[in-house]
Amino acid sequence: MKQFQLQLFNGHPIIYEGENKILLDTGAPSTIHASDRLNFLSESFECSTNYMGLTVSEISDMLGTEITTLLGADIVSTYKILLAYQDQLVGFSKQQIDIDGTQADISNFMGIPIIKLTVDNQELKFFLDTGAKLSYVSDSLTNTYESVGTDEDFYPGVGRFQTECFEIPTVFGGKEFSVKYGNLPTLLQMTLLLGGTDGFIGFDFFDNFKVVLDLKNNVLEYAR
């Protein structure tokens, strides 16, 4: 397994390899790089230089820190990936990674992983998005909770936006944890409908669970 020290920039997971500063984003179906070929872990990958019309330079501006690469689900799926936020560690391997955890089946839409969570006593489907500092769910669910304030986020194709936020207990694998949810702009709500999902789960999930993602085989292993 190749290990990297994880840097969390405002909740966004970033690693360095050589001259590349890489944002890990399982919520993006494809990788965007400063050029049309990325050398990563001694392999060479073809990739796009823009996503929804945005270059990595423009994504860097919205992110607030310069990156060379947004590593999407297409390349992530060629590896098993360990995400250990508490240990500030990310690992990539072609072999099995054992964390002595529990396995859960997941699904995907356009390569983006989907998991099931229980929120407000409802079992819901969420895109599992390493690139999301905030999590999102429908305002029909959050409207029974008190706002904990507003936060700013961004998404390619939408740009920066403000959202009201709500702290809501969430359950995965029988374990409860608190998640800070916002409400998506209308355009992004359409993404949920297309994927048959109810929301996005991001930083708070990975901050509470050590995870091994095997996107090729639709398996997630987790430990807490």
pLDDT of residue 185: 84
Q: What is the pLDDT of residue 154?
A: 84
> For position 155, what pLDDT does the model report?
79
Contact 220, 211 (CB under 8 A): yes
Domain contains 147 = yes
Do 75 and 16 lie in one domain? The reply is: yes
Here the CATH number for the domain that contains residue 125 is 2.40.70.10
pLDDT of residue 2: 96
- Give a three-class secondary structure readout of 97-123: CCCCCEEEECEEECCEEEEEEEECCEE
The answer on 175 and 193 residing in a single domain is: yes
Same domain, 107 and 201: yes
Structural domain contains residue 61: yes
Please check whether residues 49 and 117 belong to one and the same domain: no
Closest CA to 112 of 40, 21, 213: 213
Q: Does residue 125 sit in the same domain as residue 75?
A: no
Please tell me the predicted confidence (pLDDT) of residue 126: 96
Tally the domains of the chain. 2
| Domain with 13 in it | 2-93
Q: Is residue 224 part of a domain?
A: no
| 184 HSE (CA, 13 A, CB side) | 22
Q: Are residues 191 and 115 in the same domain?
A: yes
Is the same domain home to 120 and 32? Answer: no
User: How crowded is the C-beta side of 55, counted as CA atoms within 13 Å?
Assistant: 7
Q: Is residue 192 part of a domain?
A: yes
What's the predicted TM-score (pTM) here? 0.94
Chunked mean pLDDT (size 10), the chain, 224 residues: 96 96 95 96 94 88 94 97 97 95 94 96 95 93 94 81 95 96 85 86 97 96 94
Q: Do 112 and 35 belong to one domain?
A: no
109 and 203 in a single domain? The answer is yes
Question: Would you state the pLDDT for residue 194?
Answer: 79
Q: Which two tokens stand for residue 26?
A: 């399982």
Q: Are residues 108 and 193 in the same domain?
A: yes
| 89 lies in the same domain as 169 | no
